[in-house]
Structure 1
């Protein structure tokens, strides 16, 4: 059975080899249209320049923090922390490098039809999905094996890995969110509303910053987000499994995750089979690895435990993924009655548009919360606290598939913009619009998936906290515990305030700069012979500085609050803080994500399917609604996903002082 411990490492290596070979094959594709290549290079340079500055700051922060951890918590937690930081950073870079190199290749593939462009974009996403998931599994399984080989018995030191991954992910998510939404809002307000410019018009100075933002926000941020949830889940499952079932309990979640990773690779074969619609193909790509993972998880449970007792909570987690995907589609699909209601509301102006979108998000927070609550209840009844971590394991087992789908969206979005900026022709734009409409739905689904991963990972972390502190219950009527719950609940709103405020400040500066450029005598709007170029670089610099400034305080807030609460109030109130934070964060992030996606899809429905209304008051109202929803769904909401896990891992780091 000891040999089974090497299976996760072998699975990670296999997935890495597949992603490297696919990346090598995609890298050999050359772009024949010079203008496409030039614009793509500008986007790539902007994205890499931002990530270099961001992670230089993260490197300094991590080095200082590692020294502090070494002094107060021991060398192993410090080493684990640095490994988590390194792998999370590599994950963000990997995803971004892939997408910025695939946008122009996908755009050129549109010349051969939407089929070719779809699989070129999706294969780029598969590289990101397989590589990021293999990094997560390899980092946890590798460090766990190292601990066993060295005879290091304190496996709670693995928490340092989760803490490092979560901290870097928060920097990537908050910074990327501020960057992308400052650029997006500014481009829409000045370009679409004031100047009546079409989407991705090259005369708009913010258009390149907007494209860069799609990569650093939706790819680097999203990748590091689900990566840290994956790591948190695996570590919590290993610690709880060891405490309840010994070696077998730690091995099972690693085996399930390994099979889930390998099952996701089956999506590479779909290009060889006929299909009726892209939407149905996406669902096949979700269901196929899901079914394989269910079968292999049942076999693993029977072989390791002699029964299906571990499989049942795992199954609950897997089923909840499918339910959340359908619920998200129900509320955010362009054909849903909720999006159609927002479109109708746009005819009366922006106020009713915004109110309708808000009501959609508020209602939509209920069903996913009920699904996750039922999963938690059933999983606990099957396997107590260990069952909660297994539900999270099942939910995250097909992470590679969802990361692939998530990365597909920004690639297609960038390709769509490149076609417009390079003036390739309306026939190519029509092909990309088909794929972009699919990407709009998958973006929302993947955001809700990320929320679910963080919520279930936090439940697993809280279970680990109870086990590590030897708490059997938390007294909810203790005033100190109530204080912890209230503080934890309010932190979510404080974080959202910080992120939205940073987006607002950056947008103000960007809007002033765009207006200055467009109103100047040498304005790109006066560009007759193509000699006057917009100041793209200036807009990129504004977004970069704003993102770097805006991501610092949220990081300090999420790290220091658990430590201060634990020191001043004790372990039970700190547990209350974790509960309070989870209770408010889950519905708040769902509300922000789904309302924002509904506004976005309503606007795009008008632009694509109602072109005669472009520039009308109805269209302007939809654009205003979208600019309100953008920082909610792409900045504040996603930041909450990582925030709750960082709270949980910071609390577990503090357990050393409390036990």
Structure 2
């Protein structure tokens, strides 16, 4: 490389600031759109207040948890404070807290814009599908630009100030641990309300989805924001930070005594990825009679091409290693392939969704059986894609030198997440237009507006499945590279202690196999605990809805002036989510620590391997089957297979309620779970090497 490496640090900071500028512009553009319907403003204020109230209570709980973890880090990491340098422990604790703060900020930004954009998008639909789409997309783009700008700026500053892998890992662990609990808590809240509203409203009483008579309807709309916006923002913030962290830890090992060529390349590619996303969101458009799904997907593919071109030019101009560019390009291409696979299994224009809708004619059992089968089938192409990208990236970069093969995998993960700014923009669009659809119905804006918002909502569901495919695929490659980062951290400690370096994990080693078995079971236990939380909470809310319909005179009939006690359902969802969010995440962390202190670093290697394979399979299965059931229900509601109110519709709604905690609670939370346990293993590597019972 023939330029000063520091130029790429400045580039990363500059592009982050540009993304903040674009976010600020879109935020004010969305706020400036017309909004004069008093009923929509009233309901929108309920949603905004409920979302912010939940977020405040959740962050109070999580700040207490983060405080405890920070104290433990201060005492024990990277070495027990009485053995090592106190400044290292203090620095790592501060970086951990910084990661949690940045992650929380990502969620707060999402709530702030989404609870304004939903009202604006609903009223914009009166002017047609094009202006409503643009409000929803630009509202989502505020979050996309803010989250990725914050993650890039955070990692850049932590590295620039410390040049220490432990500090970068501490920052990433802070982001991941908060994201894990924020996604879990938001997912439990949103699916509690969604399931309860659908089962009582659609199945029992055959009333519309967002009928204001339903006591759970406001909680359902609040849930879209706290789960699909705030939780998802923290989740993808974590994914982006973790991908950069894994690459940085390996690059720091490779660059020792040889300059910072690989580190500079990471910041260069990350900055260009965000710049490509900035260009993509600024150029996103849809025709007056266009297809919103096509518009969203085209934006993603255009951004992909821009990133590939920019990084190729940078690689040539600064004489970087073309093999590493190739690994990055492979990750990017496989991300698109995973997106296509997810689209096939979740798009209502494709065979699987229509087959499940048709199967619903025979009752909910067939809805569930067919959806489960297609969900499992959908796993194979994505898993093959992740596997092939890892193998190709490994082999392309292996000839560069020792350690570069694993670095290639980490750069493939960065490639897959390079356009994460566009991915988040598309993903955040979904809950905004979903809320807009509910507001349009509750504000009585008419059937034409409802048709427009239904089209936008369906596009959001389809694209959300694609973006989740990107996120899950990137999580897979990231945690494979985090396994490499774990080995790097272990070997650094081994050299310091005069021990032999580890070169791999032999499955015939009983400690490795012990770890694999427990690691494979952990994602299943984690998922079950989250979904049981939804189950318990939803049962309490259904009982409350029944009570209100029974005890409030005129509510069921919709008499004028009679309104449900919306706040009771919001309180049930909030209390239950806060009660359930800590245990599942804590079990994953505790199991990691237990395996490490029992079997040492070899057991942890097996544990991470099993956790990766099982976590990816379950995440893909649940994300795709849930999206498939959701769009099968919407396909029936659009007039097919008997339409709304038919027995087929009721069966499809049952399938959707099963899929809800799959796609919006457990599935996306698994992305973060596999990342968290990998980071815990990396930051605890020295302790696992020094203190273990067997191995």
TM-score bracket, shorter-length normalisation: over 0.9
Please point out which of 226, 230, 246 is paired with 1:220.
230
Determine whether 1:528 maps to 2:538: no
The answer on whether the counterparts of 1:239 and 1:250 sit within 8 Å (CA) in structure 2 is: no
SS at match of 1:467: helix
Shift of 1:523: 4.6
The answer on whether the counterparts of 1:225 and 1:450 sit within 8 Å (CA) in structure 2 is: no
Counterpart-to-counterpart distance in 2, 1:613 and 1:118: 25
Q: Which residue is 1:375 aligned to?
A: 389
The answer on whether the counterparts of 1:517 and 1:523 sit within 8 Å (CA) in structure 2 is: no
SS at match of 2:323: coil
Determine whether 1:192 maps to 2:202: yes
Please point out which of 78, 83, 95 is paired with 1:80.
95
SS at match of 1:570: helix
Shift of 1:454: 1.6
Q: Which residue is 1:250 aligned to?
A: 263
Q: Which residue is 1:151 aligned to?
A: none
Which runs of 5 or more residues in structure 2 are unaligned? 78-88, 398-404, 492-501, 691-695
Counterpart-to-counterpart distance in 1, 2:477 and 2:644: 42
For residues 586-615 of structure 1, the C-alpha deviation after alignment (integer angstroms, 9 at most, x for no partner) is 111111111111111111001123395322
Go from structure 1 to structure 2 and tell me whether the alpha carbon gap of 1:420 and 1:272 turns closer, same or farther (over 3 Å shift): closer
Determine whether 1:400 maps to 2:421: yes
SS at match of 1:39: helix
Determine whether 1:51 maps to 2:55: yes
The answer on whether the counterparts of 1:218 and 1:407 sit within 8 Å (CA) in structure 2 is: yes
Shift of 1:652: 0.7
Report 1:230-629 matches (<5 A). 230-245=240-255, 246-270=259-283, 276-383=290-397, 384-470=405-491, 471-529=502-560, 531-610=561-640, 613-629=643-659
Counterpart-to-counterpart distance in 2, 1:542 and 1:274: 43
Q: Which residue is 1:91 aligned to?
A: 106
For residues 516-550 of structure 1, the C-alpha deviation after alignment (integer angstroms, 9 at most, x for no partner) is 11122525113322x11101000000000110011
The answer on whether the counterparts of 1:252 and 1:300 sit within 8 Å (CA) in structure 2 is: no
Determine whether 1:3 maps to 2:7: yes
Q: Which residue is 2:680 aligned to?
A: 650
Q: Which residue is 1:41 aligned to?
A: 45
The answer on whether the counterparts of 2:180 and 2:672 sit within 8 Å (CA) in structure 1 is: yes
Which runs of 5 or more residues in structure 1 are unaligned? 149-153
Shift of 1:304: 4.5
Go from structure 1 to structure 2 and tell me whether the alpha carbon gap of 1:302 and 1:340 turns closer, same or farther (over 3 Å shift): same
* 633-642 vs 42-51, which moves further: 633-642
Counterpart-to-counterpart distance in 1, 2:626 and 2:315: 40
SS at match of 1:365: helix
RMSD of aligned alpha carbons: 1.5
For residues 206-236 of structure 1, the C-alpha deviation after alignment (integer angstroms, 9 at most, x for no partner) is 0000001111111111111111011011011
Counterpart-to-counterpart distance in 1, 2:25 and 2:413: 30
Shift of 1:616: 1.5
Counterpart-to-counterpart distance in 2, 1:227 and 1:69: 22
* 188-197 vs 304-313, which moves further: 304-313
Determine whether 1:60 maps to 2:64: yes
Counterpart-to-counterpart distance in 1, 2:22 and 2:473: 28
Shift of 1:30: 4.6
Shift of 1:26: 2.1
Determine whether 1:173 maps to 2:183: yes
Counterpart-to-counterpart distance in 2, 1:572 and 1:57: 35
* 275-284 vs 160-169, which moves further: 275-284
Shift of 1:305: 4.8
* 468-477 vs 480-489, which moves further: 468-477
Shift of 1:243: 1.5
Counterpart-to-counterpart distance in 1, 2:476 and 2:105: 24
Q: Which residue is 2:660 aligned to?
A: 630
For residues 240-265 of structure 1, the C-alpha deviation after alignment (integer angstroms, 9 at most, x for no partner) is 11222451111111111111111111
For residues 82-106 of structure 1, the C-alpha deviation after alignment (integer angstroms, 9 at most, x for no partner) is 0110000000111111111110111
Counterpart-to-counterpart distance in 2, 1:440 and 1:78: 39
Shift of 1:283: 2.4
SS at match of 2:444: coil
The answer on whether the counterparts of 1:76 and 1:157 sit within 8 Å (CA) in structure 2 is: yes
* 403-412 vs 304-313, which moves further: 304-313
Go from structure 1 to structure 2 and tell me whether the alpha carbon gap of 1:576 and 1:272 turns closer, same or farther (over 3 Å shift): closer
* 300-309 vs 401-410, which moves further: 300-309
Report 1:150-165 matches (<5 A). 154-165=164-175
Go from structure 1 to structure 2 and tell me whether the alpha carbon gap of 1:306 and 1:159 turns closer, same or farther (over 3 Å shift): closer
The answer on whether the counterparts of 1:226 and 1:453 sit within 8 Å (CA) in structure 2 is: no
Counterpart-to-counterpart distance in 2, 1:501 and 1:468: 36
Go from structure 1 to structure 2 and tell me whether the alpha carbon gap of 1:163 and 1:601 turns closer, same or farther (over 3 Å shift): same
The answer on whether the counterparts of 2:354 and 2:635 sit within 8 Å (CA) in structure 1 is: no
Counterpart-to-counterpart distance in 1, 2:482 and 2:318: 24
The answer on whether the counterparts of 1:188 and 1:623 sit within 8 Å (CA) in structure 2 is: yes
Q: Which residue is 2:499 aligned to?
A: none
Counterpart-to-counterpart distance in 2, 1:198 and 1:86: 40
The answer on whether the counterparts of 2:74 and 2:90 sit within 8 Å (CA) in structure 1 is: yes
Shift of 1:271: 5.5
Go from structure 1 to structure 2 and tell me whether the alpha carbon gap of 1:655 and 1:201 turns closer, same or farther (over 3 Å shift): same
Counterpart-to-counterpart distance in 2, 1:235 and 1:318: 18
Counterpart-to-counterpart distance in 2, 1:357 and 1:542: 30
For residues 441-484 of structure 1, the C-alpha deviation after alignment (integer angstroms, 9 at most, x for no partner) is 11211222221222121112111111221221112111111110
Go from structure 1 to structure 2 and tell me whether the alpha carbon gap of 1:281 and 1:297 turns closer, same or farther (over 3 Å shift): same
